[in-house]
Amino acid sequence: MPRTRVLVVDDHDVVRYGICKLLSDDPELDVICEATTGEEAVEKAKEHLPDLILLDISLPGISGLEAAWRIRHISPSSLILFVSQHDASYVVKKALSVGGHGYLLKSTAGEELIEAIRTVLSGKQFVSKRLAGESSPEFA
């Protein structure tokens, strides 16, 4: 069975390394490339057509939101899972409206990353439990 090809996009080296390390333990996932800016994310998505993109929102240059919108047009089959520190409901709604298939908070990525990936790969939407709780029923 082919491995899921993943592009990891985050401008913080430690975060990007941590995500890649978590993914390296899963035999079904293959990090094929990394990016540190929104523009680089769009270029890598166009070049590699990954199955899954883990995308931060706050990036140098164009934001992850803008990058996602562009990626939807050049690599429409790529699934996008936002991994962000932003927990405001309007940011989550915007991320999902520009083509995100899920939204994971960085603060819970250690516990929820693999679950989020599996959910998105199965065709369902994922939103971090803290955001999808009773205080934010619109994401449940």
Which domain does 123 fall in, by range?
A: 4-139
Query: Taking the C-alpha atoms of 123, 92, 138 and 4 in order, what is their torsion angle to the nearest 10 degrees?
Result: 10
pLDDT bracket for residue 134 (50, 70, 90): very low
pLDDT bracket for residue 132 (50, 70, 90): confident
pLDDT bracket for residue 138 (50, 70, 90): low
CA dist., res. 122 & res. 41, Å (int)? 23
Nearest to 102 by CA among 131, 74, 77, 75: 131
What is the CATH number for 14? 3.40.50.2300
CB of 99 closer than 8 Å to CB of 92: no
Across 50-54, 89-93, 128-132, least confident range? 128-132
pLDDT at residue 2, rounded to an integer = 81
pLDDT at residue 137, rounded to an integer = 42
The pLDDT of 32-41, averaged and rounded, is 97
Domain count, the chain: 1
CA dist., res. 107 & res. 111, Å (int)? 9
43-61, pLDDT tens digit by residue?
A: 999 999 999 999 999 999 9
